[in-house]
């Protein structure tokens, strides 16, 4: 993403802003010229009168204030432009009238098989939104979600069961949010080695992190915070030892079936050439949602965060 180029007088070299006093002829001395110009004039007369000096200082202060205001305006404009660009890249969700949501939720709560399911009201409401308030479709998806939770014992994931996997640092839910206020799941694939991982535990960690991110979203829902997650895969140093196709298939299944439209954008940071065959296998599985994946440099990834962020740094 390109930043707006803003040219200010302050950025110009000082020699371009000052008029020259070397008005002498070729080969003449500018110092001599100045001496002749000021000869016979009392030193006091060369100073500005008190009122003029005060006026000059006031005008200088006003100019500095106006310049600072202009800089603030430029910074605000750049920020708004950046936010618009970021919003345009991610998944765009429709909005619904509150009365329609309340009516659809009332119907969904009494749908067969959902009364004792794992999905809470916030999750059921999200399925309704993901299904464009189609109650029957949302009921089916909620039922599939409940059965998946129960079958894989994902109802309440015990922290002790994923603690060792979490401590590898391969996947974390960041404390810092992006500029749009989205929760961020960061995955460092060099820390995920196929020969050393237990796929079942890695899956549990994935569900645990998504649940944690959604819990934060639900807690801030009343404040109008974004309801989607940004997922970042750091591919620096990636090799075939990290190319876990089975896990990627599971992740895609999660975001399509069990957490639909929860992930609004996916970033791949500095993907090496060896990642190309992996992407060739994964892209068809994503279908139209492959447009939500962006291959970015480290600097481009950092544009999603405040300027003072230290989330992604060079090794």
Q: Where are the domains of the chain?
A: 98-151, 159-302
Residue 189 C-alpha from the chain's centroid: 19
Least confident piece of the model among 77-91, 161-175, 273-287:
77-91
Q: Sorting pLDDT into bands at 50, 70 and 90, what band is 59?
A: low
pLDDT tens for each residue of 19-45: 333 344 344 443 443 444 344 444 444
**pLDDT in the model for residue 62:** 57
Q: Locate 271 and state its tokens.
A: 């993907």
Strand order of the β-sheet with 263-269 is 171-173, 183-188, 229-234, 263-269, 293-296
pLDDT tens for each residue of 96-141: 999 999 999 999 988 865 655 667 888 999 999 999 999 999 999 9
> Domain 159-302 has what CATH class?
alpha beta
**pLDDT in the model for residue 230:** 95
């Amino acid at each position: 993403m390109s930043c707006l180029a803003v040219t200010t007088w302050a950025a110009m070299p000082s020699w371009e802003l000052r008029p020259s006093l070397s008005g002498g002829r070729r080969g003449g001395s500018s110092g001599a010229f100045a001496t002749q110009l000021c000869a016979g004039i009392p030193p006091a007369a060369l100073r500005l009168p008190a009122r003029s000096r005060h006026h000059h200082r006031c005008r200088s202060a006003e100019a500095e204030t106006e310049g600072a205001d202009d800089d603030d305006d430029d910074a605000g404009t750049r920020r708004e432009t950046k936010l618009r660009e970021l919003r345009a890249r991610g998944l765009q969700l429709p909005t619904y009238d509150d009365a329609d949501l309340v009516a659809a939720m009332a119907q969904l709560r009494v749908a067969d098989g959902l009364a004792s399911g794992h999905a809470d009201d916030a999750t059921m409401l999200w399925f309704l939104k993901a299904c464009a308030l189609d109650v029957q479709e949302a009921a089916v998806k909620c039922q599939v979600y409940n059965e998946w939770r129960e079958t894989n014992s994902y109802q309440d994931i015990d922290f002790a069961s994923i603690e060792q996997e979490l401590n590898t640092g391969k996947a974390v839910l960041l404390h810092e949010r992006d500029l749009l206020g989205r929760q961020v799941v960061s995955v460092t694939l060099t820390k995920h080695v196929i020969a050393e991982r237990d796929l079942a535990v890695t899956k549990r960690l994935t569900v645990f992190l998504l649940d944690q991110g959604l819990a934060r979203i639900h807690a801030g829902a009343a404040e109008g915070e974004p309801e989607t997650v940004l997922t970042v895969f750091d591919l620096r140093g990636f090799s075939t030892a990290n190319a876990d196709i089975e896990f990627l298939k599971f992740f895609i299944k999660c975001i399509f079936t069990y957490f639909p439209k929860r992930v609004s954008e996916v970033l791949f940071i500095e993907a090496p050439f060896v990642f190309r065959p992996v992407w060739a296998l994964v892209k068809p599985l994503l279908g139209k949602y492959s447009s939500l994946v962006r291959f970015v440099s480290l600097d481009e990834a950092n544009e999603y965060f405040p300027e003072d962020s230290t989330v992604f740094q060079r090794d």
